[in-house]
Chain A
Amino acid sequence: GEDVEQSLFLSVREGDSSVINCTYTDSSSTYLYWYKQEPGAGLQLLTYIFSNMDMKQDQRLTVLLNKKDKHLSLRIADTQTGDSAIYFCAERGTDKLIFGTGTRLQVFP
């Protein structure tokens, strides 16, 4: 089945690194994505990774993929207050995206 799970909440101090984790079950997914949602807004695509990659870095964002364990993580370096939002991972199922439960990131000074 298709099921994507995330921890619900993460709180970090400004300047520290944040690591948001995601587990998925569909091993045939070709792409995995990270989206950011600010309050009352739609989703913003942050980054994605191909299933044949282990790691992808994009400025402050680092995505790690452990395909054996079906585990995906997003690391945000030097976390800022503007990073406070809900982060969704998503896998590409059969012609549609399957979203995780979302992780609320709170950044405190």
Chain B
Amino acid sequence: GAVVSQHPSWVICKSGTSVKIECRSLDFQATTMFWYRQFPKQSLMLMATSNEGSKATYEQGVEKDKFLINHASLTLSTLTVTSAHPEDSSFYICSARLWTGIDEQYFGPGTRLTVT
């Protein structure tokens, strides 16, 4: 149990276009999901906290108009990178929170975005 999927697993897009990444909790409901960015050989940087039915909470320095987050249901959150630039190229990972008596996060497999 506690499986999280991401789609697509990798995507290549041209500068100026927008890309949508989906994060789904397959066998549990998640009122809270998280979006992280990971640069090569570095740790995870939390970008935003996605709450079902309300606006996402963005970390300092993350542009909310560039990284649009929608958490429309208890099993789906989407991250849209708008007007993508090469510096947006990165590995994006989502996680879904599951309360089991403690705060557990289950991670998706990640999406590799390359902007040309």
Contacts and interface: CB of A to CB of B under 8 A. Distances in A.
Are these two chains actual partners, yes or no?
A: yes
A45 B105 contact: yes
Interface string A93-106: 00111011110000
A92 interface: yes
Interface residues of B, number: 20
Main secondary structure of the interface of B (DSSP, over half): strand
Contacts of A40: 110, 112
A96 B34 contact: yes
Contacts of A99: 43-44
Interface string B92-103: 010100000011
21 contacts: A35-B107, A40-B110, A41-B110, A42-B109, A42-B110, A43-B44, A43-B95, A44-B107, A45-B104, A45-B105, A45-B107, A48-B102, A48-B104, A92-B103, A95-B49, A96-B34, A97-B34, A99-B44, A101-B42, A101-B43, A102-B43
Interface of A: 31, 35, 40-45, 48, 50, 88, 92, 95-97, 99-102
